Amino acid sequence: MYNADILIKNGIVLTMDTDNRVIETGSVAIKGDSIIHIGDSLKKFKSNTVIDAAGGIILPGLINGHTHAAMTLLRGLADDLPLMEWLNNYIFPTESRFNPDFVYTGTLLACAEMIMSGTTSFCDMYLFEGDAARAAKAAGMRCLLGEVLYDFDSPNYGPVENGLKYTESLIEKWKGDPLVSIAVEPHAPYTCSPHLLSAANELAQEKNVPMIMHLAETENELLEIKKKYGKGILEHLSSLDILGPNLIADHCVHLDGKDLDLLSEKGVRIIHNPESNMKLASGIAPVPDMLHRGIKVGLGTDGCASNNDLDLFSEMDSAAKLHKVDRMDTTVLNALSVLRMATIEGAKALGIDSITGSLEKGKKADIIILDINKPHLVPMYNPYSHIVYSARGSDVSHTIINGKVVMSDRKLLVMDVDEVMAKSRSRSREIIGFLLS
C-alpha cells in the first residue's frame, strides 16, 4: 500500500499522451506536486483525500497560450468599434492610467475565471507583470509571463531603455519558482525598433528563456513593416536573426505557405487565437497549413477586451468550427486535434510539455474533472467531441494545479472570489472615470 495525497477515481481518463491513451473507468494518484499513478485501479493506494469523478471526464488542465490577463477589467468596455477607435479612444487611454493594483486585481480576476473554466496554465503579456506574477502565484496558477516591451514610454518601467532591465529583474526574482516562469516579450515587429527586438532576443538567449511576440496579426501590420523597412515581415525578422526555436509567435494570421515553411524550418512556435481574430476582424490564421508542416501550435483566448472571456472550451469549439467553414472541409481540425492544441501541443508550444499538458506518471498534477451529468452533455458517444463541441467552462467541477486542489465542486479554494469581484467592480468605476476625464 502506497500513500498518496489525492486519489481521483471513477472517471474516463483522457491522458492526451503520445498515444492518446484513454482509460474508460480510470483513476489518478497524486503525491506532492506530481502524478504517481494512472490506471484502472487504485488498489495499491490510500489517501485521506479521494475525489469521486463519478462517470465524469478526467483530463489535463487546459493551457491558455496567449492572453493579457488583467484586461478582464476592460471586458466589454468598448465592442464592435473600428479597431483604431477602439484602441485609441478606449484601450490605450485606460492602460496609460493603470497601476500595479489594477494589474494585480485584474489578473486575480482572470485567474478565478480561468481556474473555474478548467485552465491550469497561461501565458501572459502585459504591463506591471511583476504584479501579474504575484497574482498568479496567489491563485496557484502555472504561468509563463513577461513585461510588454515597445518603443514608447511604459506606465510601469518608464522609458524604453528600462524595459529589458525590468524584465531581467523579473527573471532573477522568479528563478526556480515552481509555478511562475518569465519570458522576454517585445510587443510586435511594428511597435518595436530593430534595436529593441535584437536586444530582447539577446537577453532571451542569454537567460535561456523564451521570447514571445505578436506576429502578423493584421494585414495593416505587414503594410507598415513593408513601408518602414522595405521588407516582408519575416524577411525583416530574419535579418535580425530572431526566427528560431526560442520564439513563440502569437496570432500569425497573415502568413502564406512560404512564410510557414520558414517558420517550420526555424522551429518557431505559434499560438492561435481564433475568437480574438474573428472579433477584431483580423482574419483567419492558416492553422491547418501550420499543423501540416509540423509546427507546434497552441491555443489562446487573447485578452478579455477582444474575446470577451478566457474560456478555452468555447475557444476550442470556435477553432474547430472556424477552420471547417474557412476550408469548406468538415474533416479539418477534428475534435481530438483541437483538444491537443489546448493541452499537450499547447504545452509544447510554450516549452512546458515536460511538466504539464498530459496525464503521465512523473508529470506535475495539473488536472481537471468535467461533470457530464447534465442535459447538454447527454448522451455521450465520444469524449473528445463532447469536450470540444458541447462542454463549457462551467462544466468543470474540479481543478488541480501542481498537486493542489484550487477548485472543488466549483468552489474556488485559493481566493475570496467575492472580494476580488468587488475590487474589480471598483476598478471598473475608476476606468469609467479615466475615460470621462
C-alpha cell at 208: 535561456
For a copy of itself, the closer of residues 187 and 423 by Cβ is: 423
For a copy of itself, the closer of residues 259 and 311 by Cβ is: 311
For a copy of itself, the closer of residues 226 and 392 by Cβ is: 392
C-alpha cell at 345: 501541443
Spatial contact of 70 and 107, defined as CB atoms under 8 Å apart: yes
For a copy of itself, the closer of residues 171 and 336 by Cβ is: 336
Residues numbered 272 to 301 that lie near a copy of itself (CB under 8 A) are 275, 277-284
Smallest separation, CB 33 to a copy of itself (Å): 25
Cβ neighbours of residue 252 closer than 8 Å, sequence gap 6 or more: 215, 216, 263, 270, 272, 285, 290
Q: Looking at 19, 24, 80, 409, which residue binds a copy of itself (CB under 8 A)?
A: 80
Contact region with a copy of itself (CB under 8 A), list: 24-32, 200-208, 228-236, 367-375 = 367-375
Q: Is 159 in the site for a copy of itself (CB under 8 A)?
A: no
Q: Looking at 52, 329, 416, 419, which residue binds a copy of itself (CB under 8 A)?
A: 329
Smallest separation, CB 109 to a copy of itself (Å): 6
Contact region with a copy of itself (CB under 8 A), list: 60-68, 106-114, 181-189, 224-232 = 106-114
- Name the 3-class secondary structure at 178: coil
Contact region with a copy of itself (CB under 8 A), list: 4-12, 57-65, 112-120, 152-160 = 112-120
C-alpha cell at 290: 501550420
Specify the amino acid at residue 189. Answer: P
For a copy of itself, the closer of residues 68 and 269 by Cβ is: 68
Q: Is 309 in the site for a copy of itself (CB under 8 A)?
A: yes
Smallest separation, CB 329 to a copy of itself (Å): 6
For a copy of itself, the closer of residues 90 and 126 by Cβ is: 90
Closest CA to 7 of 41, 47, 44: 47
For a copy of itself, the closer of residues 34 and 334 by Cβ is: 334
Cβ neighbours of residue 286 closer than 8 Å, sequence gap 6 or more: 255, 256, 257, 260
Cβ neighbours of residue 208 closer than 8 Å, sequence gap 6 or more: none
Q: Is 411 in the site for a copy of itself (CB under 8 A)?
A: no
First vs last C-alpha separation in the chain: 66
Q: Fill in the DSSP letter of residue 314.
A: H
Rounded CA-CA distance 277/302 in Å is: 9
Phi first, then psi: give them for residue 45, nearest 5 degrees.
Answer: -115, 150
| Residue 47 vs residues 29, 40, 101: alpha-carbon distances, Å | 9, 17, 40
Contact region with a copy of itself (CB under 8 A), list: 37-45, 129-137, 195-203, 330-338 = 330-338
Smallest separation, CB 422 to a copy of itself (Å): 9
